[in-house]
Amino acid sequence: MSENSSRHEGAPDDRAQVLSLPIRFGGSADGILQRAYRSYRGEEGAIRALESEKLGLLRHYDVQGMDTAVAMCFWGRSGSFLLASYLDSHDDIVMLPMIASEAIYPFFQEYEPLSVWEKLIAYPEYSEAKKGDGAMFFKGDFAIAAADYYAAVLALFETYGDRPAAWLDVRSRFFQFLHAAYSVAIGRRPGNPRPLMIYAQHWTDEDLAGRFLEDFPKGRFIHTIRDPISAFDSWYDRKEEMRTLYNRPTDPGASYFPLAVDTFNDLLTWDRSHRGMEQRTCAIRFEDMHVAHEVTMRRLADWLGIPYRPSMLESTWNGVPYVVEIRGVASCGPNPANARRRSKNLDVADRLMVFALLQHNFIAWNYPSPRAMRRRWIRLCSIALTWLLPTKIELAAARWVMRVQALPSLRSGRLRFAFGAPLFLLRQRLRMMLLIATEARARLTGSRNLLKPL
């Protein structure tokens, strides 16, 4: 047995056999597995009470025949959660809420020695630990009861537990079983015994896309997109939020955060499909989800090959309304005000550069831009004029680095780190200049297979 396998499995635990599932990680030193085991053991009585109900519901699924799947990705802050929430209640779809499925492939790789049953028990804890609030199973606004989920896993074991390990323990089976278990847990009876699985790949990542297609060769991709001006503006805000939420920027060992360069690099990289996937990829515009909601969802249903349902006009997770707060205003579902162009983080020179660099995006995605930018020489001149100037986003990022990282470190006596800030910011300016020059050359002299709106 490998060291990794031993670490995850721990000693056999006969008590777990009370519930029939062969869970052997009860003695593991792994914190995630410890928490998963305690949660599972704590629901023993409730699981047994629900077993018959979940087994009856599972009979309406042909789990091994569920071989159609779609991965959802975003282009910055472009409504990927909102779009998925419109699909939540469709009876021909199974999906986990928000980003609760995002960790499937990293989890499988890290815990590969576990059996599929152990993976199903452990995954909710891993998802929460690695992905945070948007990936929780048993907590939060869209929580499901742990006993319902574990009883659904038990129903899968009662149905498929006698299959060979070589069939059970492959990655695609875990993917199928996880989606089926969640759907059975919330009590959903499918309209089709082989419902479509919607998976939150979320980040545009060639490696993740490759693994997804290995498991589901007929897999397809939906990307959400947005007016590029609004996209740069809102994605910078989100990058700043993520750095604050998920990192302690003044901890020993922390590094300075390249907020501005990352913002530009992300959006200049993610505006195309995964390699070779153009024919099985579509894009949905953020604005259309707010101002042309029904038309957009009818087109999407047709592209997915599922019947249109009125539920696709409702924004929910697990049937619970998905309420978001935008600039202090709570809303659920379409909100035309959210479709307006925003640019508080961009000044005139920044907008000029975005119009020049992404002119083909504005045209292909049908967003308004200055007609003069259709001339290549004007785009080239615009980029040349703004290339040496730090963008407003760069200046905001520099202030954030100084206020949130450098000055607190100076006050706490971490002098070397604090005095490294100016050099870091200089390097970031040079990186931004190189990025813009490289992208300008590629976009002005060649063609680009941009995402195509549905």
pTM of the model as a whole: 0.91
Please list, residue by residue across 202-225, b when 16 or more beta carbons sit within 10 angstroms of its beta carbon and e when fewer do. bebbeebbebbbebbeebbbbbbb
| CA 93 – CA 142 distance, rounded (Å) | 18
3-state SS of 329-367 is: EEEECCCHHHHCCCCCCCCHHHHHHHHHHCHHHHHHCCC
Give the residue ranges of DSSP H helices in 258-343: 259-269, 286-291, 293-304
- CA dist 220 and 308 (Å) reads 19
What's the confidence (pLDDT) of residue 324? Answer: 87
- Is 347:126 a contact under the CB 8 Å cutoff? no
Residues 6+ apart with CB under 8 A from 181: 120, 149, 152, 153, 156
Tell me, what's the pLDDT at 106? Answer: 97
Res 374: pLDDT: 92
CA distance 91 to 252: 50
For residue 426, the one-letter residue type is L
End-to-end alpha-carbon separation of the chain, Å?
A: 50
| Residue 431: per-residue pLDDT | 96
Q: Measured between alpha carbons, how far is 210 from 206 in angstroms, rounded to an integer?
A: 6
Give me the average pLDDT of each 10-residue run along the chain (454 residues).
43 49 91 96 91 95 97 96 96 96 97 97 96 92 96 96 95 98 96 96 95 96 98 93 70 79 95 94 97 97 96 95 83 91 94 96 96 94 92 93 89 88 94 95 88 94
SS3 assignment, position 202: strand
